[in-house]
Amino acid sequence: MTNRSAAPLPERPPQGDWHALPCGQVEREFGTGPAGLGDAEVRARLDRYGPNRLAPPKRRGPLQRFLLQFHNILLYVMMGAAVITALLEHWIDTGVLMMAVIINAIIGFIQEGKAESALDAIRAMLSTRATVIRDGQRQEIDAGALVPGDVVVLSSGDRVPADLRLVAVTELRVEEAALTGESLPAEKAVDAVAVAAPLGDRQNMAYSGTLVVHGVGRGIVVATGADTELGRINRMLADIGRQTTPLLRQVDHFARVLAMVILGLSALTFLLGTVWRGHGAAEMFMMVVALAASAIPEGLPAIMTVTLAMGVQRMARRNAIIRHLPAVEALGAVTVICSDKTGTLTRNEMTVQRVVCTGHVFDVGGVGHAPVGDLSIDGRIIDPEQYPALTMAIRAGVLCNDARLYEDDMLWRIEGDPTEAALLVLGGKAGFSQHLAHAAWPRLDTLPFESQHRFMATHHRDSEDASWIFVKGAPEAVFDMCASQLGHDGEQALEIDDWRRMATDTAAQGLRLLALACRRAAPQGSSLGFADMQGGFVLLALVGIIDPPREEAVRAVGDCHHAGIRVKMITGDHAETARAIGAQLAIGAGKPAITGAELEMMDDAALRRVAMEIDVFARAAPEHKLRLVQALQDDGQVVAMTGDGVNDAPALKRADVGVAMGLKGTEAAKEAADMVLADDNFATIAQAVREGRAVYDNLKKFILFMLPTNGGEALVVIAAILFELTLPLTPAQVLWINMVTSSTLGLALAFEPAERGIMNRSPRPPAEALLSGFFVWRVLMVSLLMMSGALGLFLWELNAGTRVETARTMAVNAVVAAEMFYLLNSRFILRPVISREGLAGNPCVLVAIAACIPLQLAYTHAPLLQGIFGSAALSPVEWCKVIGAGLLVFSVAELEKAVVRRSGLAGRLGLA
């Protein structure tokens, strides 16, 4: 048994900067050593610290969650409408409305359950088994039984079971992208690093949930369960509530104001009718019920759901999968997009872009894994065979290489290290494939890459049976081995200062550097060893490698900027690389990149200022991303956040629209997000923003169509009450109009295509009301027109001696005819509709009108409906009068648009 703890451990494991302490001190802090802990000490620590698991969060029960779904202003409106229809004993309408309420609640219940599963996805990342050393014996245990101080053994393919301070490594590389955002596996070492080192630079730590991809290692458990980095992210995620969207905030405010207006008008009308006009309370109550029925927009929740659902379908066709329905519209309100770099803005395919040889700098064309592209000098394409140093450098890169490049189903794929694969692609572009290389230059021996030496070497024999040693690695390590350089005319004396300057200049452009060298010699012994690497090498080239931006992402960023949307890049990568990629994407060009360490030094006020001014943030940890999103939201911005790792999950959940990567994203990121990109492409986000704006436009068009309809009906009823006229519309007839328009006419606007120039507008202000002053004017104008047509026609017919049933039928048909024509007006808020595009651009509008016509004919002429609604048959002349009332609304509405366009008011109103 080994337990060197001299004093009892504290109630919680000691909290320290373990990455900054030497291995020996960490062992002493935890009372452990190479032989591990003893069984008795393990049991004591397990009792004290608990199992190595993430505790599930406290959740509301299913019944409580379901009942809370009814606490929604839209559902209150629908339930209020259901109560009114029940008072009128229209039980079918009541049943339909209540069914819609229940369906909405069920959908919300399911969506909330999906959001909570983000926490389950993080817990699922924990390893289930671990290999430990206890009492000097290696054994495999349940990872939940690990305790601080345990000695854990890691090997390739293992998932790290807890946070470990590494004490021994052999070529250990760990995939940490889920936590750090780094695109390449992290090389591990045991030496202490600076206290302030960010997570991605702590080379002596292995964190819970990450994956060992190469080598072996041993580490001491320094944190388990909730105390791990994964546990910290889990707590952050649990503390963040789901953000409401701009649309829901607007609709909530709109519905509250509308409900107050309806109740106020109803109460005022009831008092005027009973007190001023002397009508009976029962009679006035039924009139007020008719007024309320005409004013409540029963169709709004249903149309909003249909419009959002149509947006979901359109986005799905563009590889954007929506998980949270209101996020469809929220995308259209986005003012800032915070994007991850690797794989979203870039291809996630390391590519050689530059080769620096003695006297020449070669640019390499083509991107990605396809070996297609030219080599050039200052834009002039060259033949690599004419440049001996370049040819030998390409040969060295292909031979001193453990990766594999192959074609599968018309796509080029890689196996192994992405940086090595980039060298194979370069060889393919120059006509020196891996297959030809191994046939002509067979490998005899290998000196593997080790982090402490920072190079890899291979021994080969050429066709003349001569031995060659090729080496690739970090420039500093390779420079020390070289005595000369290969120029156009052969070997030359090494000019190390020139090479260091070129290395500095190339790295400043964000390129990852490798140096290549060779030596025509055989190993000193029977196998290749470090003694063979002490000197005498010829320096061939510096190779600059980078994960290049996606071409479509460059265009999409430009589209976003043109649409007034700021794009910010938040990445775990190094500042130089982030700044270089940002410049190529026109993100933050000419501005510095701010690191996570610098963000930690800022208070909230300074962070808000920096968040708006700076566009590139590097070495960002989960809390940095979360703070940045919060800072932008505090400044009044509507924020979309993209990400793929567990470290992105808190910021994804906090953002107004969280966007997760579908191909390389973790389940935790997907579950925390509102939208998942099936192709991991930033351009898809820009397309989704376009669709989101179209959805919001369509919702506004529906409201501009619906409110005058309800307003016209309400004004007809109010006028009749105030002027002691015969009621032109009965409550049953009002419900018929609302049912027809909501289920047929209004629904067509959900299918409206995006208007031209939709991405040329600036984002709408987040605090903008659903109805601007201009829209209120439009609603009042059309309401008065509809009221004038229906009421005027009704009074005209009564004065002409027409029966009241016939006059009411004409009034009902006048309202519906006006709505049919106004539906055409509503397709464009300001553009003229008298054109082929305006009249036939949305086939659903024509179908809706065609469906509405037979309904009105049945209402007017079918004996069954005449008995229910008190309608009467109309003559051809009377139908012409009805159509005339509809044309009045259409003509004045188009005239008003023309006046607004020609007067220049459109620009001042923000509608241009």
Residues annotated as catalytic are 340
> Are 343 and 680 contacting, i.e. CB atoms less than 8 angstroms apart?
yes
Cα 668 from chain centre: 13
Residue showing tokens 């430990």 = 132
Burial class (CB in 10 A: 0-12, 13-18, 19+), 900: buried
Q: Determine the residue type at 581.
A: I
Report the run of H or E that residue 357 belongs to, with start and end.
strand 351-357
485 forms beta bridges with 492, 539
Residue showing tokens 């009902």 = 812
Contacts by 870-874, CB closer than 8 A, 24 or more apart: 870/730, 870/732, 870/733, 870/805, 870/808, 871/733, 871/805, 871/808, 871/809, 871/812, 872/803, 872/805, 872/806, 872/808, 872/809, 873/809, 874/806, 874/809, 874/810, 874/813
The pair phi, psi for residue 292, each rounded to 5°, is -65, -40
> Are 717 and 290 contacting, i.e. CB atoms less than 8 angstroms apart?
yes
Task: Count CB neighbours of 201 within 10 A.
Answer: 17
For helices 604-613 and 622-634, the axis angle rounded to 10 degrees is 80
Strands 467-473 and 455-461 turn out to be: antiparallel
The CA distance from 526 to 287, in Å, is 105
Q: Among 583, 564, 558, which residue's Cα sits nearest to residue 341?
A: 583
> Are 732 and 870 contacting, i.e. CB atoms less than 8 angstroms apart?
yes
449 forms beta bridges with none
The CA distance from 652 to 617, in Å, is 16
> Are 303 and 742 contacting, i.e. CB atoms less than 8 angstroms apart?
yes
Q: For residue 43, give both structure tokens.
A: 């049991």
Dihedral class, residue 588 (left if φ above 0, else alpha if ψ from -120 to 50, else beta): left
Task: Count CB neighbours of 506 within 10 A.
Answer: 21
Instruction: Please name the residue ranges forming H helices in 681-772.
Output: 682-722, 731-740
